[in-house]
Structure 1
C-alpha cells in the first residue's frame, strides 16, 4: 500500500515518519520524500490514527489525487535542489513531466491554482534557500555556489538572490541574524 505524506523535506523527516510507522506496527518497505510504501494494506481506522500521529509531527497524510501530485512536485524540486541532483541534464518542466507522467501544462496549472505561485517561483525559492544555507556555512565562494547551484554566472545568482530576498548575497552573508525559512513554509 502506498501512502502520500505532505511536508517531508529531509532525511530527518523520513526517519521521523519511519519511527512513527514502526511504533504503530506498520512496516514500511520503502520511504522517500512524500511517499511511503507499506508492507500491507491498512484499515481506514488505522489510517486515521496514523494521520493524527503524523499531524503531531507536522506532517499531513494526503488522500486526494491533486494534493498527491502537488506533494510529488514539491518533493521532486526539493530533491533536485537540496539533495544536489545536479546530474539532471534536462530542464525542470521535462524532468517533472517525465517523473510524474503528466503534461507540464497540467502540472503547472494545478500547482499555480493550489499553491498561489508558479512552479518556477517555488523552484527559485528553494534554490535561494539552498544558497542562503551555503552562504551561512561559509565553505564556498559565491562563484563556487553559482556553479554548484547551476547558475550561468555569479551576476545572475546575485540578481535573483536580491530579487527574492531584497539583499545582496554578500550583505546577507555578513549580517548576524541570517533567518532562513523552513522548507515546508515555502
Structure 2
C-alpha cells in the first residue's frame, strides 16, 4: 500500500478546506489558494482534466517513463492499435496488454458532485498480478491527468522496440531511471 507523505496529506487537507462550500464566484480565488498551498508543500500543480482527444494526443504512440513509486520507473509504450507494452522493474518479460479510454467520474468538493474525467484503462490478461493491488488480472483504470502527473518524461514512438519483444532488454532496477540512461544501456535499435 502506498503511504502518502505528510506534505501531501497537508496539501490535500488544505485543498479540501479551501474548496469546500464555495460559490461559483469564489472558485477561481480558492483554486489559486490551493495552487499556492500545493507549491508551498513542494507539490506540482494539478493538471486540468483531459478530454478523450487530449488524452489520445498525450498517450497514444508514446513511450512513457512513469513513476512506479516504491518500484522505481516503469516504461510503457501505448500503441495506436490498442496494444500496450510494459517494461516493469524486476520483471524479465515485456507484458503485452490492451488499453482503452473510459469516461469516469470523480468527486470534486467545489462542484459538490461527481465530474467527468477521462481514464486510461489497461488489461494485461488473467495470468498477471497488479504490483500495487496484488489482484490477479482484470482491467485497471487510472485518470489520464493522474497518469500524466506521474509521468517523468515521454517520447514519441516505440523507442525501445517493446512491441517487437517478449524479453526485456535488461531487468529494470527498482529505482528511478531516465529514458536517456536506458537508451545508452540498450544501445541502438536494430
User: Could you say which TM-score interval applies, normalised by the shorter chain?
Assistant: 0.3 to 0.5
TM-score, normalised by the number of residues in structure 1: 0.32
Task: Considering fraction of residues, name the structure with more strand.
Answer: 2
TM-score, normalised by the number of residues in structure 2: 0.32
Higher relative CO (CA 8 A, sep ≥ 6), structure 1 or 2?
2
Task: Considering fraction of residues, name the structure with more helix.
Answer: 1
